[in-house]
Structure 1
Amino acid sequence: MVEIIHHADASELIALAGTCLEAHKSENNLPLGLAYALAEDPLRYGSEPPLLLSVLEQGSAIGAAVMTPPRRIILSKFVANVEGAIAHLVRHLLATDASLPGVVGPASEAQVFAACWAEAVPSAAPKETMRLRVFEARTVADVPLAAGALRLASMDDHPLMAHWVDAFSQEALGEPADLDKAKESAVRFIADKQLYIWDCNGPVSIAKTTRPMRNGISVTAVYTPPEQRSKGYATSCVASLTKKLLSERYSFCSLFADQANPTSNSIYGKIGYVPLGDALEIDFAT
């Protein structure tokens, strides 16, 4: 018997489904990392309460779903009864009049969810917007580094970092230009000591940490401006940041890479990131 449990607090989801999610930590870095962040600050991603769901079968957690409106619902990897459990989850969401702009999750789970949702809501017209690969690193290969060094971004870097965050959002995420939003994000990233720069006579590449978990963390926002590409700066930045994170605190680092970008996939492989599986972003018509 499949059961859906609503949680008012993300710490409740971690207590109930955390062991299940941590069995596949890197593949679940998005829902698990969000749960840890929301446990610390329930309004971190907006003023509307998040949707926090554990999916149980025979009383044991087999998966979870997290949504921070108005963003897509995020699925974890389901460890059993994928089709049956997700069909039950969709029926539950429909019964609660949930409005979903899309779904993100491991490829098989996202595809099953989108098919079930489209069957119940024909106007949803699911459209795959991005196919991602999930990578994990537990060691860093001995790759040659470009000239320069890794350092934390400071507020002195803010004007340039805002433009680069905006450029990354447009190029990698397909979001519209929004410099004001990027300025706010850059302030937060710098204040939280998340944003790192590869500096070679000035900033030439960036990468950012995000979604820390109990013993792992994700790397994102890897961006090099066009005029500085093909010089090894991104490789050096990500390799050095990953090595720093693994040596100082964490046992693994994870990241997502767009499968349509063979350059980034190649870079991560050379550094020591191992592909674990595929994930999909699917949008629904609204």
Structure 2
Amino acid sequence: MFSKLVPNDPAIAAGSPFTIDEVQYNLIHRISEDRNSLCLKTPDEKVIFAQTPGHKGWLWISNDILATEQTSLIHELINHLTRVSLPGITGDPQTAQMFAGIFSKINNLRYETEMTMEAYHCPTLIKPQGVKGEILKATDEHVDVVADYLAGFMRDAFGTQVEPSSQQTRAATMIAAGGLYLWIVNGHPVAQANISHRSPRHARINAVFTPTQHRKHGYASALVAELCKIIESENRIPMLYADVKNPDSNKVYQNIGFQKCGLIEEIKFF
């Protein structure tokens, strides 16, 4: 029953059932663009699975499919994944938990939730006022700063301690992609944010980070707001994911106009 989902597939195009939950599942657009990814859909286009090799899969099931039918479809999907290495599953909490329960039982595995995120979009920007500084697109001269910020982001978001030097290559790649911006005060960077991907109707912001000594001044809010303006000028809607365990970042986004679009749960198998 499952067939291949391709880039710009009708199953994820405007007017498809998927677009109801498009913000929540926006990363499926990015995964589908990778020629090495495994992307599947049902004939009625109400179930989509997408996985980049070596990463957790994403599973979307339309809300109008009954629970009993969802169970049957998950079993069928798992049959398609017999020879696929699947380290985890990502989706709305109910879907992710249902898949994880069935998959782990069949494969004699255990599972646990690693992270729960809120998906946000910003249909109407509320620009912060009175924040000192200005936006600057990152260049090669900022690699060391960006690498330091990426290490800080990993520490704060995932509790992972890494040396900034280990993030040099990633920093250079993000800068070269052209979506990384800094907030500058008195000639010095104080925050960063990145436009990481553009899908047909949205653009996703990530890697938002302010060093501890520069927090509580509105720098991240001002920078994200400027990125929202760039995205809006392209006739797209800004979106992002925020860890529900970080109330401060969630509040920052809500204060500048971001609205909740649903939870996404990441589950790992072991």
The 5 A counterparts of 1:136-147 are 136-147=121-132
Say which SS state the counterpart of residue 244 (structure 1) adopts.
Answer: helix
The 5 A counterparts of 1:70-219 are 70-81=54-65, 83=67, 84-85=69-70, 87-94=72-79, 96-122=82-108, 124-175=109-160, 177=162, 179=164, 182-201=167-186, 202-219=188-205
Give the residue type in structure 2 aligned to 1:6.
Answer: K
Deviation at 1:110, TM superposition (A): 1.0
Give the residue type in structure 1 aligned to 2:37.
Answer: P
Match of 2:46 among 58, 62, 67: 62
Deviation at 1:187, TM superposition (A): 1.2
Q: Is 1:206–1:222's contact at 8 Å kept on the other side of the alignment?
A: yes
Deviation at 1:181, TM superposition (A): 5.1
Deviation at 1:133, TM superposition (A): 0.7
Distance 1:160 1:79, change over 3 A: same
Which structure 1 residue ranges, 5 or more long, are not aligned? Answer: 43-48
Say which SS state the counterpart of residue 120 (structure 2) adopts.
Answer: strand
Q: Is 2:153–2:207's contact at 8 Å kept on the other side of the alignment?
A: yes
Aligned CA-pair RMSD:
2.1
* Of 229-238 and 178-187, the range deviating more from structure 2: 178-187
Deviation at 1:170, TM superposition (A): 3.1
Q: Is 1:73–1:102's contact at 8 Å kept on the other side of the alignment?
A: yes
Give the total of aligned pairs: 265
Distance 1:74 1:176, change over 3 A: farther
Deviation at 1:16, TM superposition (A): 3.9
Superposed CA offset, 1:34-86 (max 9, x none) = 32x42xxx3xxxxxx311111x2xx3100211111211111235243264335
CA distance in 2, matches of 1:204, 1:245: 22
Q: Is 2:200–2:236's contact at 8 Å kept on the other side of the alignment?
A: no
Structure 2 equivalent of residue 46 of structure 1:
none
TM-score (norm 2): 0.90
Give the residue type in structure 2 aligned to 1:125.
Answer: R
CA distance in 2, matches of 1:135, 1:71: 23
Superposed CA offset, 1:103-146 (max 9, x none) = 11122211211121122223x21101111111110111142242
CA distance in 2, matches of 1:116, 1:268: 35
CA distance in 1, matches of 2:110, 2:66: 22
Distance 1:25 1:181, change over 3 A: farther
Superposed CA offset, 1:194-248 (max 9, x none) = 10111112110011112211121111111011111111111111112112211x1
Deviation at 1:273, TM superposition (A): 0.3
Q: Is 1:34–1:211's contact at 8 Å kept on the other side of the alignment?
A: no
Match of 1:53 among 40, 44, 49: 40
TM-score (norm 1): 0.85
Asked whether 1:4 is paired with 2:2, we answer yes
Asked whether 1:31 is paired with 2:28, we answer yes
* Of 263-272 and 236-245, the range deviating more from structure 2: 236-245
Aligned identity (percent) is: 23
Q: Is 2:192–2:210's contact at 8 Å kept on the other side of the alignment?
A: yes
